[in-house]
A and B are shown apart, each in its own frame.
Chain A
Amino acid sequence: MLNRPLAAWLAAGWAAALLLPWYMLDDGLFSFVWLTEGYAGDRDYAPALFQVLWHERYWLAPLGLFLALPLLAVGRPDNGRGTGMLLVAAGAGGLFWLLLQGFGIDHRGVSLALLEPLVPEGGRQYGMGWGASLVALAFLFFITQGLAAHGLARGDVFVAGSIGLVVALVAAFIFFPVLTILSSALRDNQGALAPFLFLDKLFDGRIWGTACLTGGGRCGSAWNSLILAVLTGLSTTLLGLAFALVVTRTGFRAKRMLRTLTVLPIITPPFVIGLAIILLFGRSGAVTQFVADLLGLDAGRWVYGLPGILFAQTLAFTPIAFLVLIGVVEGVSPSMEEAAQTLRADAWTTFTTVSLPLMRPGLANAFLLGFIESLADFGNPLVLGGSYDVLATDIFFAIVGAQYDQGRAAVLAIVLLSFTLMAFWAQQRWLGRRSYATVSGKGDSGLPLQLPPALRRLCYVVVIPWAALTAVIYLMILFGGFVEFWGRDHTLTLRHYIHAFSVVEGEHGLVWSGAAWNSFWTTLQIAAISAVPTAALGLLTAWLLVRQSFGFKRAFEFGTMLSFAIPGTIIGVSYILAFNVPPLELTGTGIILVISFVFRNMPVGVRAGIATMSQLDRSLDEASLTLRANSFTTVRKVILPLLRPAILAALVYSFVRAMTAISAVVFLVSANYEMATTYILGRVENGDYGLAIAYCSVLILVMLAAIGLMQWVVGHRRLGRRAPSVASAAEQTS
């Protein structure tokens, strides 16, 4: 007997091989021209069977064998180990052959000698399409079904399949592209192996030069990036800690206002902070002019370079550290602090010996986030960098600049990646195995410790001016879109908004004539499309991490965590290197943007899922399982309804993050798919700041509306659910 999921996947595999176009279509995934334009008779549109029969693509034939193998299991016992072996063999064999022929034969012909006998003169093929992808999925599920029969995930086919899916996707869209960078760094731009060229590029003076130390000349971009990242990490962590302490451990009155700061980084498009800083502190900036007049100095370009970037990044990323540290500071159990105080420690000693050490993982996390964000940041160095080169912008210019040097981009990416991984590794080392969990889940009453007075004053002195500055910057952004030319001509105008977002009455109704509409709609569409798989994949991963146990869970966890640490710049470069040739030929499509968003933003879903799911008692799942529901039904009927707020949050945040993404996107956009951020980048490069700022303001409003709507819905749902407690004391004994 074949169980139902297996039968379904087998049928899907066969249907894909017999009916669906095997290769990627030029007309897009959702075009159906292949049905009418030749279908099986067309070399480009035919399903696998007809590719073999009519179009001489014989190398696809062995796949049929592997698809047929599971049929032998019909009539065998369901959970038999023999059946398991058979399925693993069919799936692994099929997947292996699929990859072998996919990499061995591409649009230029056959490159693998082994396959030559199967390929007639001039045989070529394109990237995988609907048919090939579905067949690959079917093979994947054969493997997981087979492994489940051997006890993977306690024999649960849904869990085993989910693990397989997440592993395969992370491998295909994170690890494969990153490995492609490594291999392309070792080649010259014609594709031949050139290890010496690699070493040459790796030890290039532009990367590692130290001229700035000895006086005269610039330092290499690697040193610049590293110094900047460490400084940004430190400054954002310290500021974030100050904010978190003020909000949680003092009687400060405007706490709610401070808390709203935490949404800022989520809704801030790239460049805006950099632009606002130029508008305030640039050569013709308001503050610079004012101070110059006051002191009779020459207005300088002091803000360009390290100070400016550091300033902008600290403004941009402090709220991230704040968000992380609020959770951590709140998580320090008051009873620990009370215990310390009953043991004769005064407030200051308690803070330094108990509270602060318990916050260690949060501090490390906040630093790591600031460090990585700074390394990957592309917008601020671009507008404020001056002659201070950093890796992220260097990579960009290596790809899009006049020099077009793919190998150099890859080498720079490797340097950047190794910095990130080193930080990641150091963080893991520093935290070690010690447990910092202090929230027990049991009612934990007790009052959080108030800050010692000296520390409290220090926090106020830091936090209040910084919050004010942040507020000024954001007001500036809104204001900047309404003036002719900031710094020179402050006449109020709607010119920029009209240019970008005008709508005129045409012959056939409204015409979206503004210059920004095209990229605006594309952005909304792609962000919305990618939100769904992002949330789904993120929550599925969270569910596997929190609720399931399987042999290689630690490795699985580490792999998914590691992929979160990879900067967007790397994802961007690696995607164009990995996905512009078969078997996965995606560059220039909208899909590659969607995929990059999904894998860049998955951590949001994972984090939301883990946080909520850890609060759901595990015995709820188990109760459902003992009541005959399989794990798929359990997820659908028990977990998902209880996770609804987390799902909504994951959807909205991934939508919003996709709207502001730039570091990976900038490499992946194409003429058909221009995104808002890349359009803004173009305006910034042209010095058209007014338009850029106007566009950013609109994006900010759209994102604020999305988040506000979500919070309203989530809040409403909770209120509606909170039924009055009927359990009275009388019933307690019945």
Chain B
Amino acid sequence: MSGPASVRFEDVTKRFGEVVAVDSISFEVEPGNLVTLLGPSGCGKTTTLRMIAGLELASAGRIVIGGRDVTALPVTARDVAMVFQSYALFPHMTVAENVAYGLTVSRVPKAEVRARAERALELVGLAGYGARLPSELSGGQQQRVAVARAVVLEPDVLLFDEPLSNLDAKLRRRVREEIRELQQKLGITTVYVTHDQEEALAVSDRIIVMNQAVIAQEGTPRQLYEEPASRFVADFIGDANLVEARIRAVENGHAQVEAGGLGLQLPARGSAAGPALLAIRPRSIRLHPEPREHAVRVRVDKATYLGGHMEYEVEAPLGPLFVVDLAVDRPLPAGSDAWMTLAPRGVTLVPA
């Protein structure tokens, strides 16, 4: 154990024959951070994670963990631990033997193995379950054994590949919080793979969004949500209405934007005057039953009552829009007219 380590990818590529699974990506994970690899299925997340573990060797580029170049090192020589999607608990060993496995094969003295394994089980709330076989545990418990088995080694880097995908929806929320708490308590550098954007926003210090073997954007959850770097990211993280707009002028980094009759002033984010793309979060659209200043008139096509909020589909001069409105007390009926304004937050220019 050498304390939390950083993980650095330098132009790393992975090819499987003709398929380029990961295409020349670079990123860095700060020591002690939890970074999520997020993206649609098949974009190369698992492959990236397996390259950190050493289960796949990079076809090109350099991988550095804790200042040590591990590009050519086999998995056994790297100080990483991984929690598998299927948990991969050894069915012929008890829970305690599973957790102790990594220590035993590293020839740690027996007494210490037992003590550390017990402590790890305690840490995940499974003290006293050591004598059971994995098949005698529920899904959530198996998941925690897998986590205990990984953290007991006090690895430089902890890896998770879609750890919640085999759990039901309710359990998922709880386990992800447990994982995050444990990670912060131990301060282990962690890389976490998921395709679920909500999960990623909930647990991460930073998120790396991947798309088709390359990194689409990297940043904190807030940056990704509020300043998406591309149409793909804007669409993938949270819902967004993507509409055509026009930049009239750019001054001191501020752009005068016109979209379907609405005039806005937004951070230019590198855009120049001319046609532009605008991302509008559904909650940033306000609908009013009466006309008012700076509002444009829209038509409500569809209204859905969802208990806590209303969802509308409206036809606006900007195009069709999807709206989430918290005012459930005075719903707007489908077919009626309404007037729309934009909240200051949640509207952003998307660089082309």
**Across the interface, do B57 and A151 meet the contact criterion of CB distance under 8 Å?**
yes
**Across the interface, do B136 and A723 meet the contact criterion of CB distance under 8 Å?**
yes
Give chain B nearest CB distance to A553 CB in angstroms: 12
User: B221-244: which residues lie under 8 A (CB-CB) from chain A?
Assistant: none
A29 within 8 A of B: no
**Across the interface, do B92 and A642 meet the contact criterion of CB distance under 8 Å?**
yes
**Across the interface, do A617 and B88 meet the contact criterion of CB distance under 8 Å?**
yes
User: Assuming the A-B contacts A629-B76, A637-B105, are A622 and B137 also in contact, with contact meaning beta carbons closer than 8 angstroms in the complex?
Assistant: no
**Across the interface, do A627 and B102 meet the contact criterion of CB distance under 8 Å?**
yes
A725 within 8 A of B: yes
Stretch touching chain A among B77-85, B112-120, B276-284, B328-336: B77-85
A641 within 8 A of B: yes
**Across the interface, do B88 and A623 meet the contact criterion of CB distance under 8 Å?**
yes
Q: Which residues of A contact B76 (CB under 8 A)?
A: 625, 628-631
3 closest Cβ pairs, A-B complex: A627-B102, A623-B88, A619-B88
**Across the interface, do A723 and B135 meet the contact criterion of CB distance under 8 Å?**
yes
Q: Which residues of A contact B82 (CB under 8 A)?
A: 622-623, 626
B55 within 8 A of A: yes
List 9 interface pairs A-B (beta carbons < 8 Å), by A numbering: A79-B73, A623-B89, A629-B101, A629-B102, A642-B91, A723-B133, A726-B137, A727-B137, A733-B140
Q: Which residues of A contact B159 (CB under 8 A)?
A: 626
Q: Which residues of B contact A620 (CB under 8 A)?
A: 88, 90
B346 within 8 A of A: no
Cβ contact of B101, chosen from A617, A627, A726, cutoff 8 A: A627
**Across the interface, do B140 and A628 meet the contact criterion of CB distance under 8 Å?**
no
B166 within 8 A of A: no
Chain B, residues 128-167, CB within 8 Å of chain A (1/0): the string is 0000110111111100000001100100000100000000
B22 within 8 A of A: no
**Across the interface, do A622 and B88 meet the contact criterion of CB distance under 8 Å?**
yes
User: B52-94: which residues lie under 8 A (CB-CB) from chain A?
Assistant: 53-55, 57, 72-76, 80-82, 84-86, 88-92
Q: Which residues of A contact B102 (CB under 8 A)?
A: 627-629
Closest to A729 in B: B138
User: Assuming the A-B contacts A156-B74, A638-B90, are A627 and B138 also in contact, with contact meaning beta carbons closer than 8 angstroms in the complex?
Assistant: no
B-side interface size class: 35 or more
Q: Complex Cα distance A622/B54, Å?
A: 10
A155 within 8 A of B: yes
B185 within 8 A of A: no
Chain A, residues 238-260, CB within 8 Å of chain B (1/0): the string is 00000000000000000000000
A731 within 8 A of B: yes
Q: Complex Cα distance A629/B82, Å?
A: 13
Closest to A627 in B: B102
**Across the interface, do A633 and B105 meet the contact criterion of CB distance under 8 Å?**
yes
A732 within 8 A of B: yes
Q: Which residues of B contact A154 (CB under 8 A)?
A: 54, 57, 74-75
**Across the interface, do B81 and A626 meet the contact criterion of CB distance under 8 Å?**
yes
> Residues of B with Cβ closer than 8 Å to A?
53-55, 57, 72-76, 80-82, 84-86, 88-92, 101-102, 105-106, 132-133, 135-141, 149-150, 153, 159, 170-171
Q: Which residues of B contact A36 (CB under 8 A)?
A: none
Cβ contact of A726, chosen from B55, B106, B132, cutoff 8 A: B132
Q: Which residues of A contact B72 (CB under 8 A)?
A: 79, 151, 155
**Across the interface, do B55 and A622 meet the contact criterion of CB distance under 8 Å?**
yes
A519 within 8 A of B: no
**Across the interface, do A628 and B170 meet the contact criterion of CB distance under 8 Å?**
no
Give chain B nearest CB distance to A328 CB in angstroms: 28
A624 within 8 A of B: yes
**Across the interface, do A627 and B74 meet the contact criterion of CB distance under 8 Å?**
no
Q: Complex Cα distance A734/B138, Å?
A: 8
Q: Complex Cα distance A425/B228, Å?
A: 57
Closest to B84 in A: A619
Most buried by A among B91, B153, B170: B91
Q: Complex Cα distance A637/B74, Å?
A: 19
Q: Which residues of B contact A638 (CB under 8 A)?
A: 90
User: Assuming the A-B contacts A622-B82, A627-B153, A638-B90, are A727 and B101 also in contact, with contact meaning beta carbons closer than 8 angstroms in the complex?
Assistant: no
User: Assuming the A-B contacts A151-B72, A155-B57, A619-B85, are A628 and B106 also in contact, with contact meaning beta carbons closer than 8 angstroms in the complex?
Assistant: yes
**Across the interface, do B171 and A733 meet the contact criterion of CB distance under 8 Å?**
yes
Closest to A728 in B: B138
Q: Which residues of B contact A625 (CB under 8 A)?
A: 54-55, 75-76
User: Assuming the A-B contacts A626-B80, A628-B105, are A155 and B140 also in contact, with contact meaning beta carbons closer than 8 angstroms in the complex?
Assistant: no
Q: Which residues of A contact B105 (CB under 8 A)?
A: 624, 627-629, 633, 637
Q: Which residues of B contact A151 (CB under 8 A)?
A: 57, 72
Q: Which residues of A contact B80 (CB under 8 A)?
A: 626
Q: Which residues of B contact A724 (CB under 8 A)?
A: 136
Q: Which residues of B contact A623 (CB under 8 A)?
A: 82, 84, 88-90, 149
